[in-house]
Structure 1
């Protein structure tokens, strides 16, 4: 019988803490455990400490996870809670994504200071975003506006926007909702025209391979449809060798045993893009995503990907 608290690793941002508390609360409810049986351990990651450059410049998504994963591997943590879209497609040996909480709204939120929508922005307006996907999609729709790197926690970005450093910014609507800021967006972007990042809006829980006690605990909060959808999206990303250096979008919906997927790849300047759709049984989510990635790579050809190097 467990006597010590389960140790949950997380980053220290308000959003990361909100996600860790959601995971804890769901585990408490599923197992009838008191809050004292869970200890939330806050860790600072390299991605948190370097905020003046894009992730592509400083090494990609793993910078938000390495310190947490090192402690998880050593046994200093029992589980780690992450934003799924921050997770590299290749995890350290011995770790895996064992559970996904029910997915929140995956759409991107536009927050305009000088105009309420992306298409209403005046020519020459400045939009702040650190995401290469968002940058490419903005340039695809509005090649007449300027896009600048815009990093930091949610409140930091909103403060910079209010100070007039940019005319608008984009954030994941899921994160704003989890922070009680769902009133902030001036426009929610249609996933058809502005598809989200793979795994956007989904909280994942990482644990050790073979730790049956912990993985049995987590199975009770694993949301099957979210797990299937994100598995498909991550397989698509992996087939394209996706990282923070690549503008890739992907969104799957698993419902009633059937899965539908839409993916897109873009050149960084948004001038060229390819879209793909796929569907099949939810039980074959990984296969569907991987095949979609291979198919869109074949459509685009090797010259397309040279622009990412």
Structure 2
């Protein structure tokens, strides 16, 4: 017969699904620690199951050439729908704008620093790189912003997890690269950053720095469990950013940047779309109450869509 404590622990148990990269595992372990602390149980109550995704398997080309967003979440979501896991942990910027039926983003961890960082062994900043130097990135947003700021630089494709990209930089496959500060901090590698990029000049990706927890919409037990660690400021900020993406066809191919800041009951939002060559860019901003977060992002997207014209969005087909 179970003791009351054992019965309580069993009712709180849940399997966490995640990718197997060091960063993804660090994020899953952070979720596990927070859940255990919030519910007064041991971390063993939340076993972690690693799931290989299509995005992990594809290493020979940019992800937008293989289908874009969803490649880091599809297999994890399939496991969630099948009941093999109880909750999924994602980097928010990897999650497609529209989720499979029956799933929802039900909880968010406090957001880490969303800024990008410049990393190089040859220059102290992006502006200090000599003309013709190579910058490694496979992100359409980062490549477009680099091209906008420094059209004289050479862009090369670098794929892989954080450690792999740092190793490729050390091996001379590029003179510099751009990575998310949040990922470096979660891995204890923030000292690798040469310079932090000003978000007014280098606007982050929507959801960057945020950890999202995805669950089955009708699973009341799990949704109640994860609600205990939900950060409402992060939820509101990312709602604005994803609202912006939703009206701009925010695929992995489209250079789109978005960032919202929540201050009490107010929310400030900036959104940007850039052509792949960096020559054409449209930016806007919104401010309002946090309860209107998604609406503010969507309204900003409508403005940019009208200003840029539909031709702007068709150019990506051959980008």
Q: TM-score, normalised by structure 1?
A: 0.99
Alignment partner, residue 158 of structure 2: 150
- Determine whether 1:195 maps to 2:203: yes
Alpha-carbon displacement from aligned partner over 1:218-275 (angstroms, at most 9, x marks no partner):
1110100000000110010111010111000000011111100000000000001000
Q: Would the aligned equivalents of 2:9 and 2:41 in 1 still touch at CA under 8 Å?
A: no
1:205 alignment partner, one of 213, 227, 235: 213
CA distance in 2, matches of 1:228, 1:53: 34
- 1:33 deviates by 1.1
Alignment partner, residue 44 of structure 2: 36
Secondary structure of the structure 1 residue equivalent to 2:213: strand
Pairing 1:210-229 to 2, within 5 Å after superposition = 210-229=218-237
Alignment partner, residue 230 of structure 1: 238
- 1:119 deviates by 0.4
- 1:88 deviates by 0.3
Instruction: Identify unmatched segments of 5+ residues in structure 1.
Output: none
Alignment partner, residue 286 of structure 2: 278
Alpha-carbon displacement from aligned partner over 1:1-52 (angstroms, at most 9, x marks no partner):
5527310000000000000000010111111111111100001001001111
- 1:64 deviates by 0.6
CA distance in 2, matches of 1:214, 1:2: 13
Secondary structure of the structure 2 residue equivalent to 1:134: helix
Cα distance change on mapping 1:2 and 1:32 into 2, 3 Å: closer
Q: Would the aligned equivalents of 2:16 and 2:87 in 1 still touch at CA under 8 Å?
A: yes
Secondary structure of the structure 1 residue equivalent to 2:190: coil
Secondary structure of the structure 1 residue equivalent to 2:49: strand
CA distance in 1, matches of 2:60, 2:108: 31
Alignment partner, residue 79 of structure 2: 71
Provide the aligned C-alpha RMSD in A. 0.9
CA distance in 2, matches of 1:87, 1:2: 30
CA distance in 1, matches of 2:100, 2:51: 18
Q: Provide the aligned length of Structure 1 versus Structure 2.
A: 309
Alignment partner, residue 126 of structure 2: 118
- 1:306 deviates by 2.1
Q: TM-score, normalised by structure 2?
A: 0.95
After superposing on structure 2, the runs of 4+ consecutive aligned residues of structure 1 that deviate more than 3 Å are: none
Alpha-carbon displacement from aligned partner over 1:176-197 (angstroms, at most 9, x marks no partner):
0000001001010000000000
Secondary structure of the structure 2 residue equivalent to 1:64: coil
1:247 alignment partner, one of 244, 250, 255: 255
Pairing 1:55-204 to 2, within 5 Å after superposition = 55-204=63-212
Alignment partner, residue 265 of structure 1: 273
2:308 alignment partner, one of 288, 296, 300: 300
- 1:148 deviates by 1.0
Secondary structure of the structure 1 residue equivalent to 2:214: strand
Alignment partner, residue 3 of structure 1: 10
Alignment partner, residue 20 of structure 2: 12
